[in-house]
Chains A and B, each alone.
Chain A
């Protein structure tokens, strides 16, 4: 205890030792080599941390910068041990020297500990070569992706063109067939037996169905071609659609609730088609168990609108989530519910063409179609 008190009491006391010049036999050359080297080391150990410090301050995003600060402290302290060593040739401050060495030891140990601690992190850091390799790989992948996207775009365009031409050109002979069957039907009125009447009925029905299919295929293939975008007041658009469907609404006895809906910048024709299809479905697939209720709601979010069309009708088995949005896929026989299987695929194409998404959710009774419609698509 007295030792310690004495130590700190005379931390700069030099009385117990001779200056180093007088301790042992030093030649001028030997002594000055020692002094100048120590002083040089001190200078270098002062400058190195200065640069390290400047580097981590100015360069953002240096990983593990915390450990660099320990490096700075440890190097500075090492520098001081050398400076003191040089000074002791004149002033033998052995106590102060021991204290600085002690601090140097502590800081060095902590630095070692810090290095061990972050070693796995250091190993995980990428060298610039690794970065370069990764960049090359990504560039390659991006190039391939662009190539595929180009191919896909052109094959989609081909397919749309094909659907358009096919449905267009098929209309003509079909119309001829229809006309001749009608003429035949008229001329044979009263002369047909029961069986022939059935033949006539099915022929007419089938050719009418084909006409509807072709028309729907035609309009499906042209979706997205409509460049005339404008601000569409959704409330107004839905009311117009409901007006078009007036007789079906009346027939179904539906109670329709219309929320305040947003304005969307899009094609008015497509918005009409979208709601016409969703509402026609809601009216068509009503349940015989309860009076039909249909609601159209909207919820604004930061980036988009959630627009829902829900009913309390017969609902849809969730396992058909993928199937019902595909073109010509139907869940019912035509004799139960008429239709071509184009409606929901049209909705999907319209919504996705505007950068949105559509899906359905089942409720206790009925189904809810949800549309996510992104804002700011000018």
Chain B
């Protein structure tokens, strides 16, 4: 069965890359790209969308990736909802990785850009 994906990413050029990569692997499932954390949170809380996998940027306007995870902790526990999170970031800071992996729902810490190979490996 095809997975449902959510990308939380503020940069337009990067979002375009995701769409391109998804097209290249001929992804048939449902996916959404939301360009800020707050909208992504309300999309989840309003059950507009129940993603199997969330690709989460760290450095975003207003609320960053960590604040996104913290905001959902109570209201929408991602782990219980069977949503896996992969951080997808330009951060070179090892502290960010350490911090990310402390969240039980976070399954990986990926460096941008997202490649077809990585995406396929995660989806399957």
Contacts and interface: CB of A to CB of B under 8 A. Distances in A.
Q: How large is the interface on B (under 10, 10 to 19, 20 to 34, 35 or more residues)?
A: 10 to 19
A335 B61 contact: no
A333 B10 contact: yes
B13 A320 contact: no
A140 interface: no
Contacts of B36: 333
Given A320-B62, A330-B61, A335 B35 contact: yes
A332 B59 CA distance: 12
Nearest to B13: A202
Interface in A179-238: 195, 198, 202-203, 205-206
B11 interface: yes
A331 interface: yes
Given A333-B35, A333-B36, A335-B35, A206 B13 contact: yes
B74 interface: no
B62 A335 contact: no
Which one of B12, B13, B35 has the greatest number of beta carbons of chain A within 10 Å?
A: B13
A206 B35 CA distance: 17
A332 B61 contact: yes
A198 B62 contact: no
A30 interface: no
Interface string B1-25: 0000000001111001000100000
A330 B64 CA distance: 10
A247 to B, nearest CB: 25
A334 B11 contact: yes
A263 to B, nearest CB: 38
A224 B12 CA distance: 35
A317 to B, nearest CB: 8
Nearest to A202: B13
B21 to A, nearest CB: 13
Interface in A313-357: 320, 328-335
A195 B24 CA distance: 12
B74 to A, nearest CB: 18
A205 B13 contact: yes
A320 B38 CA distance: 14
Contacts of A334: 10-12
A315 to B, nearest CB: 14
Nearest to B23: A195
B70 to A, nearest CB: 14
Contacts of B16: 198, 202
Which one of B11, B35, B61 has the greatest number of beta carbons of chain A within 10 Å?
A: B61
Interface in B34-63: 35-36, 59, 61-62
Nearest to B59: A328
Contacts of B61: 329-333
A167 B83 CA distance: 39
Nearest to A205: B13
Contacts of B11: 334
Contacts of B20: 195
Contacts of B59: 328
Interface in B62-113: 62
A111 B62 CA distance: 69
A314 to B, nearest CB: 13
A331 B62 contact: yes
Interface of B: 10-13, 16, 20, 35-36, 59, 61-62
5 contacts: A202-B16, A320-B62, A328-B59, A330-B62, A331-B62
